[in-house]
Structure formats: structure tokens, C-alpha cells
Chain A
């Protein structure tokens, strides 16, 4: 077992020795550059690639800077010539924390599909931390040399340089991983062996990888180291004593990944490229530089002490919230505001009100008396009329043509009546009229002159509400409005008449009507909502002041407006 030493300051200062190395490196670089120029001449593609490369990293050496304009890292491989397919490509980082050179970067490889470490490898490859081989493979089960590991460390971490460089006797100045080894050493990740050797081509064991990562990241050993190791690893006894603290630190930081059995560390087993990828990935997770492997991936099964981090979902963007709301919002139903005409019942039965037809109004009506006054005979009459003028602006004249004695001398008896009316404000109206101003045939309807005032009392705002409207009319008239006695005595006089209608519900209005002679009680009904058809059943001569007994009468009217 190879023992790893780490004694800060135990190496010689580079001073004089580095002069020789410096010449060697510069010579190597110049030589490589010349080779590169020759190669570029032979390979226009190489020139094109070099032209697209970013400027040299300021942290890199002169050689590294020049490398950026060359064919690639393979030019500095041990063979100093053709690319070595046994070494993974040393390619450029594509994002922090990686750095270095830029060539084509694969993020996955055909030979890791389904591999237990696929998530680790792809996670690092996508960030340019690890590379595949020039043939496009990754070779996850291949061993990793110390030099290769140093190259990976260099790509993965940017720890501060803790110490000066040292000179390992077994690493020539033109060694392909010289820069990486020096940087890994100076950051504190890697150490040399006694006698100032590095053994760059030695396969690195798993325990060394973990110790290197813990050392470079300056992770502290937990208390109860032995207990932790014994509880975690069934082969804890195989962990070298010098590595126990570091392995315990790696364990509590979830950096240890054991495949195929999470309970066996196999510390002295050569680390595969998959192992190293897993360790580095988990080390970067511990530094919050990479996301945790999702618990749904196979790789998570082999992380020692893996506990999925309950990740708080990122706050939704306004666009996401708006999109989610749109999923829930519903369209408005296909409804619309409609003007519903409210037709109220009438407010009188037998007497006129001050409201009437005006321009654009035509009305029709009919009456039926089950038994006319004083005679045990029924009778009917019809009327048609129209209005002219504007009662609200000035005055309107209503004209009605009535046909009496419908049952018998049909259309032989009739009369024409007029009502001049004006609407004052919204609810008050006055009117004067003449019933049967013109008569023909043998009608007993007297010519009656009258004046009347009507007012609507709005008891509730909504005209559809119960008891929302009360309409009262008071009039003074001659003719048929005279008292029974004056009619009997044939005395010309005037008399008071009036009516009250209370809209108890929208379609029904109860009416009390004093004709000047007797009381009529009835109801005005609008049977079809919104249709100006009004039916008025009533009982006439209720009190017996006129006539011989109460009689049933019925009226029906229809008012049109254009």
C-alpha cells in the first residue's frame, strides 16, 4: 500500500532548480508551437479551431496560453506527438468552476448509458470537468492515474494556492500533466511520495482520492471517527490509519460513493474513472457548487448517507402564476343584459285616469257584463283607439271609438270619446275628456265631460317588487259621473269619481273604483310577463247605490307602442 505524505514545506524551494525546468518548459513550448504551426498549415481545420478559441486564461502558463492556439492537449501528452487515445482528452471547461482549454465537449458517452455513475459523469462532463477519450468513449471502469486525477482536480476546483510549487523528480518538464500536478499540489489536494517523487502514472486507490478531496477542501474530521467508520462501512478495518479522519470527514459530507455495495468502501481498490467522477461530483455538492443527485436516479443509491435534500421549489415567476391561473379561469356564461318591459296592471275599472295614449300608441279593448245594470241581460262592447302628441313634452290627445250593445245590435250603436292629457314629471298626470262626444245608433251612454288627476306613488325602487306601486286618481265629471239621484232626476251636475290601484305583485294590481254612483272592486292582471295584455275582472255595483245587485264584469285590453 502506497503511503501518502503531506508535509507542508518539506519540499525544496524551487529557486535554482526551477531555472533548469524553466528552460526545459520554454524549450518544450517553443518546440510545440513550431510543431503546431506546421500542423496548422497542414490542417486548415486546426487553424479555424484555434481562431475560435477564447483568449488564454490569465492563470495559465505560457505553455497553456500557447496551447489554446494549438491542436489541443494531446499535443502535450507524454509522447509529444500524436494524440494518445489512452489518455482522456484534456478539454476546456464550459462553465465554472472549470477552466482551461476549449475543444469539442461531449456531455454524455455511449459507454455510460445505464451505468450506475451515469448521473455523476454526465453532471461533470456537462460542466467540462471531465472528458471522454478521443474515440468518444468514457471508459468508466478504467483506472485513473495520479496524473489524470490531478488533471481532473484542476478542472473541478479553484481552491486558493496554499504553497509554492515543488519539483517532483519523476515528472519531466514536458510532462503532459505537469501544470495540473503542480496546481493540485499547491491547492493542497495532492502530495508527493518520499524522495520527492510523484508517481504520476500510478493508479490511484479510492482511499487516496477521498483523502485528497478532503485535504484540498480543508474539511474537518468529525468526532467519533472510528464509530462513524465502523457503523458505515463493513470493511472499515481496511481503511489505513492515516486516512481514517479524512474518510470520516468525507463520509459525513456524503462524498463517499460505494458501488456496487454502499456498505463496502473498498478503500484500497484502484479507483475507476466512474469512482473518481462520483467522488468529485459529491465533493462539489458538499461545496454547494453542484446540485444534489436526484433521489430518483440510480446513482443516489450508492452515496453513503444519502439524504435527499428537501428542496424548496423556486418561487414561481409571474408568468408561471399567470399561466396557472389561466388554467383555472372560466369563460363568462353567454348571458347578456336585456331590457325587460314591465307592464303593470291598470289602476281603474270603470273610470278614466289621467294617463293615456300618445303618438305611437294604439290600443284595443273589450268588455263583458254578465248582467247589465237593472236588466238580467249580458252585454259586451269593444273599443279601438290611438294617441296623438307627446304628453310629457306638451299634451297628447287620445281618441277612442267604442261599439256598444255588441250582443244584439252589433256595430249599430257607438260613440267616439276624447281625452286630452299631460304628464307632469314622471308620476303625475292631468287630463280632461269627453266620453261619447260623438254617438251613433241608440246608445244609452251619456255624453260625459270630466277632468281627472292621477299620480303614481313609487313605494319601492324595483317595479317588480311586491307593493312597489300605488296609483290614485281623482276626477270630477258630469254625465255618467253624476250621482244616482241626479241621474234619476235628470239634473245636470258634476260629481267626484276616483280610483286606487295597488300593485301587490308585478302582474296583479288590486283596484277599488268609485264611479260617482257605486263602488267597483276588481283586479287588473297581466297574464304574460312583458306583454301589454291586461285582463280586469271585477265586481260592479258592490254597495248597491246603483243597480239592483253586484254584477260580474270583465275587461280585456291590449296596448301597442311603436
Chain B
């Protein structure tokens, strides 16, 4: 009796199991699988995104010639910021007279601070113009200084722009303007000299 009962149970289980397997097989066969191609596309270069699509390409940018130059300029920017914060920006060459604290404070604001620095920029511009500089060139120089050394980072294109604006102003300046330069020009020259010395030393 027990043997018959066991055989029944085994038969029933087998039947259920086969039924289940068949059921699952049927189910899976009923559904389209396509599991190999339902992830990211793996049959074309589109897996590499826009590597070969138009609209990317190249862009001409201004960069430092070497990474070493970039690092040294960033270090120099930190020095500039520290000196401005301590208001002990040095003169250039034989220019040993101290640069007024108010001038350094304002330049620090323009070079490093976020937010609206228009007042500081205007102060520099006005000082240059009042000393005889060309108004447009003075505005270009003052504006270009905005956030030049912020975060001890000097973007190479801005660096080049500032030096270009500075040289443009100098090239258009009168003898009297350069003989008695305004304090703002002395301060700007000092900042640029520090950065350039670092950059050219690594060049």
C-alpha cells in the first residue's frame, strides 16, 4: 500500500514537474527574448557615442605651452593673492616705493573676488584715465583683470588678454603718463610681472 502510495506521489510530482517545465518552456518560447541586443547597442560604433559624429571636432583654445608653465603660473597667482591680501605687493625693478594699500586692496577685489566688482574695475579705469591714459584702453585693461588670479588659477587666454591690453595701453601712453605712472598701473605691472616671471622661467 505504501509502495503504491509512494509511486503515486512520485508520478504526480513528475507530472507536475514536467508540466511546470513545459509550461515554462512554452512561456519562454512565447516571449521574444532578444536578450543579447537589448542593452546598449553593441553592433555599431554608436557604442562610442559621438566619436565619429559631426558637431564635435576641434576648437582652438589658448593654452600654456607646457603643463609645467601652468603649474608655475598658478603658484605665482597664489603668491600674488597672498601679497595683495597682506598689501605688500612689490614694485618692479627699480620701482621700490610702496604701492598704496588702498590701491592693493581694490586690485585684490578685482583679481580674486566673485560677484560684482564693477566698482573696483571703475576705480582702476578712472585712475588710469585721470593720469592721462586712453579711456578705451584703460577700460579694456581694467575689465580684463576681473578674477585673473581667483582661486590661484590663471586662465591662459585671460592671461594673454590682460598682457595684451596692458601693452596696448603702454604703447599709446604719453611720456608724462609713464614718467609719473598712476599707482594703479604700478600695481598692475607688479602683478603681471610676478606671473610672467614664473611663466617665462619655466618656458
Please tell me if the beta carbons of A383 and B35 are within 8 angstroms of each other in the complex: no
Contacts of A338 in B (CB 8 A): 60-63
Smallest beta-carbon distance B180→chain A, Å: 11
Asked if A373 CB lies within 8 Å of chain B CBs, one says yes
Number of B residues with CB within 8 Å of any CB on chain A: 65
**When A350-B40, A415-B43, A462-B59 are in contact, do A456 and B35 touch as well, CB less than 8 Å?**
no
Asked if A419 CB lies within 8 Å of chain B CBs, one says yes
Q: Which of A333, A367, A558 interacts with B39 by CB under 8 Å?
A: A367
Please tell me if the beta carbons of A368 and B55 are within 8 angstroms of each other in the complex: no
Asked if A62 CB lies within 8 Å of chain B CBs, one says no
0/1 per residue, B166-196, Cβ < 8 Å to A? Answer: 1100110111001101000000010011011
Please tell me if the beta carbons of A334 and B43 are within 8 angstroms of each other in the complex: no
Asked if A532 CB lies within 8 Å of chain B CBs, one says yes
- Which stretch from A51-59, A228-236, A397-405 is at the chain B interface? A397-405
Q: Which of B157, B167, B170 interacts with A335 by CB under 8 Å?
A: B157
Asked if A11 CB lies within 8 Å of chain B CBs, one says no
Please tell me if the beta carbons of A333 and B193 are within 8 angstroms of each other in the complex: no
Asked if A349 CB lies within 8 Å of chain B CBs, one says yes
- Total A-B pairs, Cβ < 8 A: 306
Asked if B119 CB lies within 8 Å of chain A CBs, one says no
Smallest beta-carbon distance A371→chain B, Å: 10
0/1 per residue, B62-73, Cβ < 8 Å to A? Answer: 111110010001
**When A343-B51, A346-B50 are in contact, do A356 and B44 touch as well, CB less than 8 Å?**
yes
Asked if A436 CB lies within 8 Å of chain B CBs, one says yes
- Which stretch from A119-127, A276-284, A292-300, A547-555 is at the chain B interface? A547-555
Asked if B1 CB lies within 8 Å of chain A CBs, one says no
Number of A residues with CB within 8 Å of any CB on chain B: 109
Interface centre among B39, B163, B195 (most CB of A within 10 A): B39
0/1 per residue, A324-350, Cβ < 8 Å to B? Answer: 110111111111111111111111111
Please tell me if the beta carbons of A337 and B50 are within 8 angstroms of each other in the complex: no
Which residue on chain A has the smallest CB distance to residue B73?
A333
CA A423 – CA B164 in complex, angstroms?
Answer: 42
Contacts of B192 in A (CB 8 A): 330
Please tell me if the beta carbons of B35 and A367 are within 8 angstroms of each other in the complex: no
For window 203-254 of chain A, which residues contact chain B by CB distance below 8 Å? none
Please tell me if the beta carbons of A398 and B170 are within 8 angstroms of each other in the complex: no
Please tell me if the beta carbons of A349 and B41 are within 8 angstroms of each other in the complex: yes
Q: Which of A339, A363, A387 interacts with B58 by CB under 8 Å?
A: A339
Asked if A357 CB lies within 8 Å of chain B CBs, one says yes
Smallest beta-carbon distance A342→chain B, Å: 5
**When A332-B160, A540-B39 are in contact, do A367 and B47 touch as well, CB less than 8 Å?**
yes
CA A363 – CA B200 in complex, angstroms?
Answer: 41
Closest 7 A-B residue pairs measured CB to CB? A559-B51, A555-B40, A346-B49, A365-B47, A534-B49, A557-B48, A559-B48
A-B contact pairs, 19 of them (CB 8 A): A333-B73, A333-B159, A334-B199, A334-B203, A339-B61, A340-B58, A342-B56, A343-B49, A348-B41, A356-B46, A363-B51, A364-B48, A373-B34, A374-B28, A398-B45, A456-B55, A463-B56, A534-B50, A557-B48
